[in-house]
């Protein structure tokens, strides 16, 4: 409106709507002053440009012609003065001598031709050989007299083109001054023009710049004229004032114009209505109009006013005041009045709505940042307090916190999970308390109804007070006065309730606040249900993962082991490990990592761990175990990719796995290992030094067809072998190299620690605050079999030595205090040794190992393995291995590079029961031969 008044007082700077005055059209219109000035400027500029171009062209052409003449004279004189030119002219065949020299000189000098001519004008040379011998075109007579001739003449075609040439003719004189011939050199006119053509763009560019400057100057002049005349004719100006007058009295904004003496010059219809001015108010002094005191004083004051609100009867008027001409010393003023009575009420409601939308947006950003149920509930409470309520509490079902499936049972028992706001000053239930709500409370009403419940005045809320009268009375005394309770629902089943309280001077809740609270709770419920589902899946995956990992340490004598498994916060992965006792007191250590997280990774890990157990039972070399695992992973990936997975599976393939497999032999102190993409294990030597094993790093499992390299370490007794997955040393906030350095520092000084102490020290040093990947750690402290517990005999290939070997074994058992196992051991050694001597090849060796069990081993140089057979009653043999299998706890065969080893294990603590508790040998033999078996 102020802009309209300004246009009313001063002529407008732009024409009114309805008649277009395009500036470019005005500039080109020859009937306008601007158009005439522009055309005159263009004519002057074009004339100057044409004149300058012509002068420069002439000057450039003249300079180029003079340069061409100089170059022609120089080229001709240089050739004429060259050595042996006189002799060439006097030779029998001047053309043969001068033609190649002339062409070479022409190319060096950059001219178009160099022609040698005799004194009669006949050419000896020319760029084109067919022109040699013809008459020279041009004036050459003065040159015969010893002068230089420069002229423009035509001639035969040249390599540069046919046309007029600038040529110079100079004489060739001998030592006595006699002219023996002439030399002419020249440049065609076209080539001369090429010397000044590069100057033409500069000339034209200067002309274009001058034209642009002329256009710019004319445009500025045109704008100045338009500002001075406003681009209007007198009739148009009168029509414009009529339009402004009509607008002035039609707008819904009051306008008062006063002069320097304070008399009213103009008041539109809206100003008369708002202020109740009389009809004859124009021309009267402002004090005589009976205006409200504040508005009258404001109009008379010289101050500038912007959007001041004043009360006029029952209206709120927004007043603005500006001088009519700001640069005048004494002048009147313009006052605008706007009725804001209804706008104030609407603006208040709009501001509330804006704040609510802002709060909902903040809830979408801040609620659900994690997949933790308790944290999500706390985020809801923190978002709503104090922006929407003074105190916010969130109560959830225990099944939500545990990740269980939702049911309608147990609604009355809710656990306080989160609070925010002024809860410390009010007597509300604390976090962690279980609240048993009564049926009449707002919480129990909102759960089955599925909608919010409003208690605008808690003094009248008898159901709320009945829940805990003493606490309710104290809360009312401290100012708690309003409550909105809304359900937290997901998939139609409530998760809990959210309670919004107001206290003190805060206004009571209104019905529209319930809708807002329901919308806020609905957004939070989605995040809570996502967190509940994650909690459930995470708990299931952790349970599955832990059930697939070792639950206790196996009985073995080779290693002292300790381990840790820490699942990731975002879901368990496929990290696993195992300690597997092997024949011959050896122990296999396995550790792997399946790519991915969740149930699929845990299930895949279980399959791989089971496969390792099966392969270790076959007592395969470490590289063959990894090779079989690689084939298994490839088959598993192929099953996923070809759609053979079970229905409902998410379809994710294994996509990769790493594994480290090692076998430690305590009798030799050797550890053989191979790793498929797995981190290099760390070795802590007995002297405290920490090194990496440097085992060759082969490709991860699942790539197929790649060999796996092995490494053999000699570990003294008391060494510690540390196996781990990459989650221990890698993290989103930590570089792997930094993690490895930290691991090395954590293992410094671990030589005197137990495996359990070392394991805990590593976890304390490297466990991240928020783990994004699983962590598996296995520490194995080595032991060596004492020589006193090992007995070994080399046996000749003679059955007669078997009794003596049995006698040696009996004596050794007597030294170990295992007399009760003597009979069983003699039988096992006798049967195995007899088979080796009879059916195998030397060398044959018998070894006894005494640890937590008694191990009998018979090795030979043959790769054939005996099999348990079914002997009939009349068979003379085939019962030896049957007896071994009956008396031994376990037996089997393992292959070595030198042959094979047949082993049998017996319990070292219950030898008597083993000897007496078994079925007699005769009875066993009779059962073995029974056809019914």
Which band of pLDDT confidence, cut at 50, 70 and 90, is reported for residue 711?
A: very high
Question: Is residue 586 within 8 Å of 850, Cβ to Cβ?
Answer: no
d(CA 240, CA 12): 9
d(CA 171, CA 143): 5
> Given this model, what pLDDT does residue 94 score?
87
Instruction: Enter the tokens of residue 931.
Output: 């056809």
**φ/ψ of residue 673, rounded to 5:** -145, 160
SS3 category, 66: helix
Higher pLDDT, residue 29 or 611: 611
Instruction: Enter the tokens of residue 630.
Output: 């690689």
d(CA 685, CA 718): 7
d(CA 377, CA 528): 7
Calculate helix-pair angle for 802-815, 822-839, nearest 10 degrees: 150
Q: pLDDT tens across 122-152, in order?
A: 888 888 888 888 888 888 888 788 788 888 7
d(CA 797, CA 354): 100
Rg (CA), the chain: 55
Which band of pLDDT confidence, cut at 50, 70 and 90, is reported for residue 7?
A: very low
Question: Is residue 316 within 8 Å of 339, Cβ to Cβ?
Answer: yes
**Summary mean pLDDT of the chain:** 79
Q: How many CB atoms are closer than 10 A to CB 246?
A: 10
DSSP string, 443-462: HHHHHHHTS-EEES-GGG-H
Task: Count Cβ neighbours within 10 Å for each residue of 681-692 and write b for 16 or more, e otherwise.
Answer: bbbbeeeeebee
Which band of pLDDT confidence, cut at 50, 70 and 90, is reported for residue 600?
A: confident
Residue (of 900, 828, 835) closest to 864 by Cα position? 900
Which band of pLDDT confidence, cut at 50, 70 and 90, is reported for residue 314?
A: low
- H/E element, 528: helix 511-548
d(CA 827, CA 883): 8
Q: Lowest mean pLDDT: which of 206-210, 254-258, 422-426?
A: 422-426
> Given this model, what pLDDT does residue 281 score?
78
Residue (of 116, 122, 169, 120) closest to 146 by Cα position? 169
> Given this model, what pLDDT does residue 712 score?
93
Instruction: Enter the tokens of residue 115.
Output: 């022609």
Q: pLDDT tens across 746-758, in order?
A: 998 878 889 999 9
Q: Which residue has the tokens 């006097």?
A: 90
d(CA 730, CA 860): 48
d(CA 224, CA 221): 5
Strand ranges, E, within 604-739: 657-665, 670-676, 682-684, 690-692, 697-698, 711-714, 720-724
Task: Count Cβ neighbours within 10 Å for each residue of 279-302 and write b for 16 or more, e otherwise.
Answer: eebeeeebeebebeeebbebbeee
Helical residues (DSSP H) of 677-771, grouped into ranges: 736-747, 755-766
Q: Give Cβ neighbours of residue 332 (< 8 Å, ≥ 6 apart).
A: 257, 258, 259, 260, 265, 323, 324
Residue (of 799, 822, 800, 824) closest to 811 by Cα position? 822
Q: Quick check: 21 pLDDT over 70? A: no
> Given this model, what pLDDT does residue 347 score?
53
Helix/strand number for the chain, H first, E second: 27, 31
d(CA 924, CA 798): 29
Residue (of 408, 417, 414, 416) closest to 436 by Cα position? 414
> Given this model, what pLDDT does residue 484 score?
93
Instruction: Enter the tokens of residue 851.
Output: 């640890």
Question: Is residue 619 within 8 Å of 588, Cβ to Cβ?
Answer: no
Among 333-342, 726-735, 855-864, which range has the highest average pLDDT? Answer: 855-864
Q: pLDDT tens across 688-709, in order?
A: 899 998 899 899 998 887 889 9
Q: Quick check: 643 pLDDT over 70? A: no
Which band of pLDDT confidence, cut at 50, 70 and 90, is reported for residue 283?
A: confident
- H/E element, 380: helix 373-384
Which band of pLDDT confidence, cut at 50, 70 and 90, is reported for residue 4?
A: very low
> Given this model, what pLDDT does residue 715 score?
93
Instruction: Enter the tokens of residue 755.
Output: 């495996």
**Can you give the pTM of this predicted structure?**
0.52
Q: Lowest mean pLDDT: which of 93-97, 99-103, 654-658?
A: 654-658
Q: Quick check: 312 pLDDT over 50? A: yes
How far is the CA of 44 from the CAs of 58, 144, 216, 787, 836, in angstroms? Answer: 21, 55, 14, 119, 124
Instruction: Enter the tokens of residue 464.
Output: 């709320």
Length of the chain: 933
d(CA 462, CA 172): 137
How far is the CA of 904 from the CAs of 224, 858, 863, 894, 920, in angstroms? Answer: 115, 9, 18, 11, 20
Instruction: Enter the tokens of residue 671.
Output: 């550890």
User: What is the bridge-based pairing of β-strands 559-566 and 413-421?
Assistant: unpaired
d(CA 884, CA 878): 12
> Given this model, what pLDDT does residue 587 score?
94
Higher pLDDT, residue 416 or 638: 416
Q: pLDDT tens across 368-397, in order?
A: 888 888 899 999 988 888 888 999 999 998
Residue (of 757, 779, 775, 756) closest to 767 by Cα position? 775
């Amino acid at each position: 409106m102020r802009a309209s008044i300004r246009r009313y007082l001063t002529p407008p700077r732009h024409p009114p709507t309805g008649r277009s005055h395009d500036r470019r059209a005005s500039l080109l219109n020859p009937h306008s002053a601007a158009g005439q000035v522009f055309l005159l400027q263009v004519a002057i500029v074009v004339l100057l440009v044409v004149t300058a171009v012509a002068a420069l062209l002439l000057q450039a052409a003249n300079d180029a012609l003079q340069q061409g003449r100089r170059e022609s004279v120089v080229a001709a004189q240089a050739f004429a003065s060259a050595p042996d030119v006189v002799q060439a002219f006097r030779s029998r065949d001047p053309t043969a001598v001068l033609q190649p020299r002339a062409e070479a000189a022409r190319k060096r000098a950059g001219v178009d031709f160099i022609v040698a001519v005799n004194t009669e004008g006949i050419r000896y040379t020319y760029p084109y050989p067919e022109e040699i011998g013809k008459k020279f075109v041009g004036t050459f007579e003065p040159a015969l007299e010893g002068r230089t001739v420069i002229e423009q003449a035509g001639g035969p075609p040249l390599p540069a083109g046919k046309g007029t040439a600038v040529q110079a003719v100079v004489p060739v004189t001998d030592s006595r001054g006699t002219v023996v011939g002439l030399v002419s050199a020249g440049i065609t006119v076209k080539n001369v023009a090429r010397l000044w053509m590069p100057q033409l763009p500069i000339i034209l560019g200067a002309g274009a710049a001058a034209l642009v400057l002329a256009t710019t100057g004319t445009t500025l002049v045109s704008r100045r004229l338009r500002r001075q005349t406003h681009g209007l004719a007198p009739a148009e100006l009168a029509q414009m004032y009529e339009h402004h007058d009509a607008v002035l009295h039609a707008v819904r904004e009051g306008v008062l114009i006063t002069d320097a003496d304070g008399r009213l010059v103009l008041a539109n219809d809206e100003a008369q209505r708002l202020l109740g001015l009389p009809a004859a108010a124009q021309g009267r002094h402002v004090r005589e109009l009976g205006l409200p005191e504040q508005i009258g004083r404001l109009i008379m004051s010289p101050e500038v006013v912007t959007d001041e609100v004043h009360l006029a009867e029952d209206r709120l008027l927004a007043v603005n005041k500006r001088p009519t001409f700001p640069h005048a010393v004494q002048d009147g003023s313009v006052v605008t009045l706007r009725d804001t009575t209804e706008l104030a009420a609407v603006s208040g409601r709009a501001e509330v709505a804006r704040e609510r939308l802002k709060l909902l947006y903040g809830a979408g950003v801040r609620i659900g940042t994690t997949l933790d149920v308790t944290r999500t509930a706390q985020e809801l409470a923190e978002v709503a307090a104090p922006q929407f309520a003074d105190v916010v509490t969130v109560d959830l079902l225990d099944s939500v916190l545990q990740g269980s499936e939702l049911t309608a049972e147990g609604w009355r028992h809710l656990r306080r999970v989160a609070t925010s706001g002024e809860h410390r000053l009010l007597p509300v239930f604390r976090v962690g308390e279980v609240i048993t709500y009564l049926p009449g409370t707002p919480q129990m009403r909102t759960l089955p109804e599925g909608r919010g419940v409003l208690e605008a005045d808690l003094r009248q809320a008898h159901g709320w007070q009945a829940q805990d009268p003493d606490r309710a009375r104290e809360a009312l005394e401290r100012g708690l006065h309003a409550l909105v309770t809304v359900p937290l629902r997901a998939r139609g089943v409530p998760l809990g309730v959210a309670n919004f309280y107001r206290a003190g001077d805060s206004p009571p809740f209104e019905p529209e606040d319930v809708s807002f609270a329901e919308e806020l709770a609905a957004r939070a419920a989605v995040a809570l249900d996502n967190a509940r589902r994650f909690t459930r899946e995470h708990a299931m995956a952790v349970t599955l993962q832990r059930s697939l990992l070792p639950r206790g340490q196996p009985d073995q004598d080779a290693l002292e082991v300790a381990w840790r498994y820490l699942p990731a916060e975002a879901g368990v992965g496929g990290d696993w490990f195992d300690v597997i006792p092997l024949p011959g007191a050896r122990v296999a250590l396995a550790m792997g990592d399946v790519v991915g997280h969740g149930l699929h990774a845990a299930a895949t890990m279980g399959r791989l761990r089971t496969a390792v157990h099966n392969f270790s039972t076959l007592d395969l070399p470490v590289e063959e175990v990894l090779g079989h695992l690689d084939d298994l992973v490839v088959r598993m990936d192929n099953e996923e990719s070809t759609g053979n997975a079970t229905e409902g599976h998410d379809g994710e393939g294994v996509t990769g796995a790493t594994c480290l497999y090692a076998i430690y032999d305590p009798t030799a102190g050797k550890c053989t290992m191979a790793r498929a993409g797995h981190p290099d294990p760390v070795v802590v030597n007995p002297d405290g030094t920490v090194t990496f094993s440097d085992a060759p790093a082969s490709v991860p499992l699942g790539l197929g067809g790649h060999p796996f390299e092995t490494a053999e370490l000699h570990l003294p007794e008391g060494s510690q072998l540390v196996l781990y997955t990459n989650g221990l040393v890698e993290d989103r906030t930590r570089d792997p190299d930094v993690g490895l350095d930290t691991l090395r520092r954590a293992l410094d000084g671990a030589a005197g620690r137990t495996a359990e102490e070392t394991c805990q020290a590593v976890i304390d040093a490297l466990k991240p605050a928020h783990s994004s990947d699983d962590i598996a750690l296995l520490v194995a402290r080595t032991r060596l079999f004492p020589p006193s517990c090992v007995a070994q005999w080399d046996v000749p290939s003679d059955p007669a030595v078997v009794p003596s070997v049995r006698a040696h074994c009996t004596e050794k058992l007597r030294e170990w205090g295992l007399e009760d196992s003597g009979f069983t051991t003699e039988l096992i050694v006798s049967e195995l040794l007899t088979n080796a001597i009879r059916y195998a090849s030397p060398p044959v060796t018998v070894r006894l190992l005494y640890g937590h069990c008694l191990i009998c081993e018979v090795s030979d140089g043959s790769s054939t393995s005996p099999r348990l057979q079914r002997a009939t009653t009349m068979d003379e043999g085939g019962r030896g291995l049957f007896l071994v299998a009956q008396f031994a706890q376990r037996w089997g065969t393992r292959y070595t590079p030198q042959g094979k080893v047949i082993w049998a294990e017996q319990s070292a603590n219950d030898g008597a029961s083993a000897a007496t508790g078994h079925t007699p040998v005769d009875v066993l033999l009779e059962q073995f031969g029974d056809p019914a078996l």
